[in-house]
Amino acid sequence: NNPAPGGGPVGALRGVCPAGWHVATDCEYQYLEHTLGMTVAEQQAIGTRTSGDVGAALKADGDSGFDMPLSGARRYNTEFING
């Protein structure tokens, strides 16, 4: 429940993480993405990111060890897609 480095909206979240943990900031995700091979230009793109194998590496059973569970996505028209 630690605030995000530098404050911001993520720092306002409370009670969503175990003690000593925090919700990752976009900067932290970008560091992880860059470590797996995503370019800065890809990180700064607006809309759908075409990151090659980085997304596949992060998902559950990917080869990064991160194992992020997929939960869906929201389209520009606010339609929700189950993932």
pLDDT value at 40 more than 80? yes
Q: What is the dihedral of CA 16, 18, 19, 21, to 10 degrees?
A: -80
Mean pLDDT across 30-48 = 84
SS3 content of the chain, % helix, strand, coil (to 5): 30, 5, 65
**Which whole-number Å values give the CA distances from 45 to 34, 38, 39, 52, 54, in the listed order?**
14, 11, 10, 14, 15
**SS3 call for 19:** coil
Cα distance between residue 63 and residue 83, in whole Å: 19
Q: Which two tokens stand for residue 14?
A: 């409370």
pTM reported for the whole predicted model? 0.60
pLDDT tens across 48-74, in order?
Answer: 666 668 877 887 788 888 877 767 676
**Per-residue pLDDT, 21:** 86
